[in-house]
Amino acid sequence: YLRGSWRPLERLIRRLHAADAAAVLVELPVPQVVDTLQAVSDLRHAAQIVNKMPLAIRHQIVEALPHKDLAELLENFRPDDLTDLIQALPDEQRDHPLSALDAESRSELDTLLAHDPGSAGGIMTTEFFSLPEACTVQEAIEALRGYADAEMVFYLFLTGEEGRLTGVISLRQLLLAPSDAQVADVMSGRVIRVRTDTEEEQVSRLFDKYRLLALPVVDDNDVLVGIITVDDIIDVIGESTTEDMLRMAGTRQSEMLTDSVFRIAGVRLPWLFAAFLGGLGATAVIGQYEEVLAQVIILSAFVPIIIGMAGNVGVQSATVTVRGLATGAINPRDTLVMVFKELRVGLLLGAFYGVILAAYGFWVYDSLQLGQVVGLTILTNMTGAALLAVSLPMLFVRLKADPAVATGPFVTTAIDVLGVLNYFAIASLIYGL
Amino acid sequence: YLRGSWRPLERLIRRLHAADAAAVLVELPVPQVVDTLQAVSDLRHAAQIVNKMPLAIRHQIVEALPHKDLAELLENFRPDDLTDLIQALPDEQRDHPLSALDAESRSELDTLLAHDPGSAGGIMTTEFFSLPEACTVQEAIEALRGYADAEMVFYLFLTGEEGRLTGVISLRQLLLAPSDAQVADVMSGRVIRVRTDTEEEQVSRLFDKYRLLALPVVDDNDVLVGIITVDDIIDVIGESTTEDMLRMAGTRQSEMLTDSVFRIAGVRLPWLFAAFLGGLGATAVIGQYEEVLAQVIILSAFVPIIIGMAGNVGVQSATVTVRGLATGAINPRDTLVMVFKELRVGLLLGAFYGVILAAYGFWVYDSLQLGQVVGLTILTNMTGAALLAVSLPMLFVRLKADPAVATGPFVTTAIDVLGVLNYFAIASLIYGL
């Protein structure tokens, strides 16, 4: 009876845009989603709906669908979407969908899976529209008529001998050209292209720089093997900024995809280890000043705020610098300007909070010396942290290293250890110990 | 003689793609860039080159160009690019370019500037191609032929009475339709549209969800007033993820654009104030335990590492959660699953580092009690920090607040204060003080 009761839903789903249908369905329990999907007769539509669902639910649906239905569904996936689906599955869950594919799709998938997921070959689709350059405008339009399937056709890529990429023509140019003209005479022969092993960050930079809608992918022999469309790149841009953020925090995108708690812990462990070593460094520094502490025990109460304020201003400077470098708002050549600016910002903020903390130390603990020590420490530590946090990413860029990684462990650890050292040095001096 | 010597450069620039020309020119001193630009006879090309340059250099060029040349250059900007250019200028530098505009461009610019820069009206262009729906396919193609200027024409938007948006037709549909058909019969009447005041995040979600290449913008009366193209959205996506990152660090995008050190400090101050209050809280907590500290002075040496490890694992959990929520990899409905997962990750990492630190405390300071205290504290603090850092963003999303903001001050401050409290509570217990 379940089937019957889901009829109205199925009718609704059929009329909705795939993205909306997916949004509706994910609100339901998985068995009912599977049921409804099986009742959708337009398999292309069903495939698009599944493709629009969040990863976790997609996996559950793939697991729950019987072999035959899964086979029909997967055949209607675009090759690049299918690759994404399989790639995101944990190894042990891949057998079920893989066995549902026919030999041809399987071999196509294997080719795509062979590329690094972070390369042009890993994000391209092999389902695209191209024509030999030796045809007329009229023939091109006829060919296009017969190819109803390809979405996002706005450029036709043209190939010469052995499938080598020779030119591109936009639908607009095709529309405006006389119908008996040779395509080769109307097309543009200078085509921006990438190789299958080009990194996806490079690909997304090209899209951004030249405002592209589609980019052809060629192999080592310049043979056209796939295209990347702008909608794939939107995902890449979101992902790569996300990657930047996660790298600064010492973790990785993969942690969202994998389910294993052990693997997540493994991903986070290394950066925490850098922080751990830094923390031990700070412990050792304080251990050296045990005598000072024994005489002015209250000094230890200010350790958290002194470390925290410098760390926070450091995170701010580092984030601004790393993002500015990534978006191009900051030019590596402007290092001196940036460093000088952060110096002044750090001094301003350090002076502001230094005065407040000095006042607090003086009034609450009734000690002018304590006020001087904590005030001076905040001023110098915040300034130093801002300087360090802007300089290290700039330095890493010049050394061709990733500034996002640099900012994580190096900056925070250095700020902690140097900050504590500076604090006790100032305290020894002012208390004359 | 300068002019003469720059001739070859001008010839090169003329043949390069605007993006490449901009990349070459920004390597030169500004006066020579201005000189070269003045020699480029294709003003549309010159405008595109300037538009591809980094903000800071663009501003210098605008300042350096004489009134007449600037007027010619700005007339060749796309309206939305011109708006961006003016908007990014500090107030005191706007007069020079504004006075160079003719009355018509000036009033168009005023209309665009009136929209919030973060809204659809603020990113749309008013230079687009639309047709009345009452025309034939042949007439539409003719009209298109006469409109060589508009780039990125892949959809024609169609309007009815009083310019109201009634439909859309892709170039592809136009190409495949019989030339004597009525456009109104071939077009799609269901057009996804936004109003001028729709927020840009919402716009970029629509582009992502429906894989759009262009989106029409209408006013309150459904009159078509502009379009947004996918290339504008690529910028928005990059910016909004950047905004997320900067908000987590307690700062804002505007800090990269403005030059004033005082304004930057003002932007960063509030979050630092939250951290400052948290730091004072930690100070007060330690102050309460002065007697414990006086007897076991070495406890203070472990404060930085104990705060640091909890803070770092907190940043990792929070970043993963905030980004996962933003990209849709995490569903707010999965709160319990996520919290349970972070609980186990926190326990694992806490156990790992707890054992190491306990061993360190035991061996280096030859005290079983110290080892127990620091080991137990790391275990509980890291677990608690992971829990807190996943729970707060999830809670903020449910309360319709921005999780990125939540993650900044709240999580870090709470972790600091609670962590120190827990440390001394455990220490009092184990040392029996």
Of the CA atoms within 13 Å of residue A92, those in its CB half-sphere come to 3
Average pLDDT over residues B6-19: 79
Model confidence pLDDT, tens digit, residues A215-247: 999 999 999 999 998 888 887 777 777 777 777
pLDDT category at B375 given cuts 50, 70, 90 is very high
Residue B151, pLDDT score: 55
Q: Cβ contacts (< 8 Å) between A144 and chain B: which residues?
A: 172, 175-176
DSSP string, B281-332: HHHHHHHHTHHHHHHSGGGGGGHHHHHHHHHHHHHHHHHHHHHHHHHTSS-G
Identity at A380, one-letter amino acid code: T
pLDDT category at A377 given cuts 50, 70, 90 is very high
DSSP string, B401-427: --HHHHIIIIIHHHHHHHHHHHHHHHH
Residue A358, pLDDT score: 95
Indicate if A161 and A235 belong to the same structural domain. Answer: yes
3-state secondary structure of A155: strand
Q: Do B172 and A174 touch (CB under 8 A)?
A: no
Q: Do B309 and A276 touch (CB under 8 A)?
A: yes
Q: Do B265 and A349 touch (CB under 8 A)?
A: yes
Alpha helices in A115-161 (DSSP H): 120-123, 137-145
A135 touches B at CB < 8 Å: no
**Pairwise CA distance, residues A25 & A12, whole Å:** 11
**Pairwise CA distance, residues B95 & B86, whole Å:** 10
3-state secondary structure of B217: strand
Contacts of A425 (CB under 8 A, 6+ apart): none
How many helices (H) does chain B have, and how many strands (E)? 24, 6
A120, part of any domain: no
Identity at A21, one-letter amino acid code: A
Helix axes B18-25, B43-51, angle to 10 degrees: 60
Model confidence pLDDT, tens digit, residues B424-433: 999 999 998 7
Indicate if B273 and B317 belong to the same structural domain. Answer: yes
Q: In the structure encoding, which two tokens stand for residue A341, read together?
A: 């600016």
Interface of B with A in 1-40 (CB under 8 A): 17, 19
Q: Cβ contacts (< 8 Å) between B237 and chain A: which residues?
A: 234, 237-238, 241
Indicate if B394 and B420 belong to the same structural domain. Answer: yes
Q: Is the pLDDT of residue A165 over 90?
A: yes
- Domain span holding position B139: 130-248
Indicate if A238 and A280 belong to the same structural domain. Answer: no
B389, part of any domain: yes
* Residue B348: burial class (beta carbons within 10 Å; 0-12, 13-18, 19+): buried
Q: Cβ contacts (< 8 Å) between B305 and chain A: which residues?
A: 276, 279-280, 282-283
Indicate if B79 and B145 belong to the same structural domain. Answer: no
Final residue before a domain boundary, out of A202, A228, A248: A248
B326, part of any domain: yes
**CA dihedral of A200, A206, A208, A212, whole degrees rounded to 10:** -110
Model confidence pLDDT, tens digit, residues B112-130: 888 888 889 988 888 888 8
Q: Where are any strands of DSSP class E within B54-144?
A: 130-132
Residue B41, pLDDT score: 83
Residue A35 host element (H or E): helix A30-39
Q: Which of A259-263, B80-84, B299-303, B367-371 comes out lowest in average pLDDT?
A: A259-263
Final residue before a domain boundary, out of B248, B267, B293: B248
In angstroms, the separation between the Cα of residue A164 and the nearest Cα of chain B is 23
A91, part of any domain: yes
**Pairwise CA distance, residues B90 & B70, whole Å:** 18
Chain-centre distance for alpha carbon A275:
24
B120, part of any domain: no
Mutation target vs B (from A155, A205, A268; most B CBs, 10 A cutoff):
A268
Mean pLDDT for chain B overall:
85
Indicate if B90 and B177 belong to the same structural domain. Answer: no
Residue A382, pLDDT score: 95
In angstroms, the separation between the Cα of residue B320 and the nearest Cα of chain A is 7
Question: What's phi and psi for A194, nearest 5 deg?
Answer: -130, 160
Q: In the structure encoding, which two tokens stand for residue B261, read together?
A: 């050190």
Final residue before a domain boundary, out of A215, A231, A248: A248
Average pLDDT over residues A58-82: 87
Residue A255, pLDDT score: 61
Q: In the structure encoding, which two tokens stand for residue B189, read together?
A: 């009447």
Residue A2, pLDDT score: 47
Indicate if B268 and B381 belong to the same structural domain. Answer: yes
Indicate if B349 and B415 belong to the same structural domain. Answer: yes
Q: Is the pLDDT of residue A1 over 50?
A: no
Interface of B with A in 63-122 (CB under 8 A): none
CATH of the domain at A204: 3.10.580.10
> What is the widest separation between alpha-carbon atoms in chain A?
96
Pick from B120, B123, B66: nearest CA to B97:
B66
Percentage of the residues of chain A whose pLDDT score is greater than 70: 94
Of the CA atoms within 13 Å of residue B141, those in its CB half-sphere come to 23
Residue B54, pLDDT score: 78
Indicate if A415 and A278 belong to the same structural domain. Answer: yes
A358 vs B142 pLDDT, higher one = A358
In this complex, the residue of A237, A300, A304 whose CB is nearest that of residue B307 is A304
B281, part of any domain: yes
CB atoms within 10 A of CB A120: 27
Number of structural domains chain B divides into: 3
CATH of the domain at B51: 1.25.60.10
Indicate if B89 and B154 belong to the same structural domain. Answer: no
Average pLDDT over residues A46-62: 85
pLDDT category at A148 given cuts 50, 70, 90 is low
Mean pLDDT for chain A overall:
85
**CA dihedral of A15, A19, A25, A30, whole degrees rounded to 10:** 130
Interface of A with B in 323-382 (CB under 8 A): 323-324, 326-331, 341, 344-345, 348-349, 352-353, 356-357, 360
